[in-house]
Amino acid sequence: MKIYDELVARGLIAQVTDEEKIKDIINSGNATFYIGFDPTADSLHVGHFMALCLMKRLQMAGNKPVVLLGGGTGYIGDPSGRTDLRSMMSPETIQHNCACFKKQMEKFIEFGENKAIMVNNADWLLELNYIELLRDMGACFPVNNMLRAECYKQRLEKGLSFLEFNYMVMQSYDYYYLYQNYGCNMQFGGDDQWSNMLGGTELIRRKLGKDAYAMTITLLKNSEGNKMGKTAKGAVWLDPNKTTPFEFYQYWRNIGEADVLKCIRMLTFLPLEQIDAMDQWEGSQLNEAKEVLAYELTKLVHDEEKAQKAKTVYEVGSVRE
């Protein structure tokens, strides 16, 4: 099975700009693609993990990942999916968070010559001249189109600041810059990023007369339509000092029965044939499926030894109860 068909079978693809072209590019290993990560905290969380898994799958199929750290866009804050303004971070905090992200990402993505690369948009965004940017790029962003963008709609009722309104321009400029300097021909991201990503493909078309592509991945939601990856304590982090391997294991072991097979399909690297067979499981077998999910993800994020230890602790605790 080709990589695009596998992504479809795993339920990962939400929207694409040109399905046939994207399918051909990534199946042939000719994509130089990027995903952006704004450093909003000092650790990656479960939402980032899904994006890293996509990167890993595409890299294994011969495509070249470009990890974009948002050291520049982090100064503004992405309004997508937000009902309020993000807290402003100091330059020192942004740099620290970027360093934390970099260290964690190296566990998932293979960096090196002719492999993945990591760049930071602070290197070009912080040097931009405001007047020059307005003259060069402003005409490429019709305000009517921007106001219709899903990422802004829910904020218009409560108030959208001009600061956040610029985020689409910054993200679009990233794609334009990466296209010119790194040969990036594709951008991937969460489905809530669709409008921003279209801004990038349109900017490249208008300024360079070239085609660039975008694909969004399905947001990780439970059967009730709420984003997964949060507990009563807050986000489920990849940093073991913020969410211990046991807490991480426990989160996935306790997810709803309606969500377990979807998560196994989307997040693990188990063969699809094995997962398809699990589709027939019911009753007590779904508890076994939860164990598989929790173990596989804890092994990916931490390591096999910690996954086994978390499983043992959980089982002992369950017996005592």
CATH number, domain of 255, equals 1.10.240.10
What is the pLDDT averaged over residues 48-63?
94
Please report, for the domain that includes residue 174, its CATH number. 3.40.50.620
Could you report the per-residue pLDDT of 20-38, keeping only the tens digit for each? 999 999 999 999 999 999 9
Which of 195, 217, 239 lies at the terminal end of a domain, its last residue? 217
Same domain, yes or no: 163 and 267: no
Same domain, yes or no: 56 and 127: yes
Tokens for 315, please give them: 């089982």
pTM recorded for the entire structure: 0.91
CA–CA distance, 136 with 131 (Å, rounded to integer): 9
Does some domain include residue 26?
Answer: yes
3-state secondary structure of 220: coil
Which of 217, 239, 273 lies at the terminal end of a domain, its last residue? 217
Same domain, yes or no: 193 and 249: no
What is the pLDDT averaged over residues 143-155?
78
Phi/psi for 186 (5° steps) reads -155, 145
What is the pLDDT averaged over residues 211-230?
89
Contacts of 277 (CB under 8 A, 6+ apart): none
Same domain, yes or no: 195 and 74: yes
User: Which residue do the tokens 């030894």 mark?
Assistant: 305
CA–CA distance, 239 with 303 (Å, rounded to integer): 13
Same domain, yes or no: 31 and 115: yes
Tokens for 313, please give them: 């602790």
Going by pLDDT thresholds of 50, 70 and 90, the confidence category of residue 147 is: confident
Residue 219 φ/ψ region, left for φ over 0, alpha for ψ in the -120 to 50 degree band, beta for the rest: beta
CA–CA distance, 311 with 192 (Å, rounded to integer): 34
Same domain, yes or no: 168 and 203: yes
Does some domain include residue 225?
Answer: no
Give the pLDDT score at 80: 63
Does some domain include residue 222?
Answer: no
Which of 185, 217, 249 lies at the terminal end of a domain, its last residue? 217
Same domain, yes or no: 9 and 39: yes
3-state secondary structure of 231: strand
Same domain, yes or no: 235 and 205: no
User: Which residue do the tokens 């913020």 mark?
Assistant: 242
* Residue span of the structural domain in which 300 resides: 230-320
Give the pLDDT score at 81: 54
At residue 306's C-alpha, the angle toward residues 304 and 310, to 5°, is 115
Q: What is the DSSP letter of 36?
A: E
Give the pLDDT score at 52: 94
Does some domain include residue 102?
Answer: yes
Contacts of 135 (CB under 8 A, 6+ apart): none
CA–CA distance, 159 with 212 (Å, rounded to integer): 32
Does some domain include residue 10?
Answer: yes
Same domain, yes or no: 37 and 176: yes
Same domain, yes or no: 205 and 234: no
Could you report the per-residue pLDDT of 231-261, keeping only the tens digit for each? 767 889 999 999 999 999 999 999 999 899 9
Does some domain include residue 223?
Answer: no
What is the pLDDT averaged over residues 2-21?
96
Burial of 118 from C-beta contacts in 10 A (0-12 / 13-18 / 19+): middle
Could you report the per-residue pLDDT of 298-309, keeping only the tens digit for each? 999 999 999 999
User: Which residue do the tokens 């398809």 mark?
Assistant: 276
Give the pLDDT score at 84: 54
Per DSSP, the residues of 144-196 read: HHHHH-HHHHHHHHH---HHHHTHHHHHHHHHHHHHHHH---EEEEEGGGHHH
Does some domain include residue 224?
Answer: no
Same domain, yes or no: 206 and 241: no
3-state secondary structure of 80: coil
**Which of 70-104 are b and which e, b meaning 16 or more Cβ less than 10 Å from the residue's Cβ?**
bbbbbbbbbbbbbeeebeebeeebbbebbebbbeb
What is the pLDDT averaged over residues 149-159?
73
Instruction: Work out how many domains the chain is built from and give that number.
Output: 2
Same domain, yes or no: 240 and 192: no
User: Which residue do the tokens 């068909």 mark?
Assistant: 5
CA–CA distance, 201 with 210 (Å, rounded to integer): 9
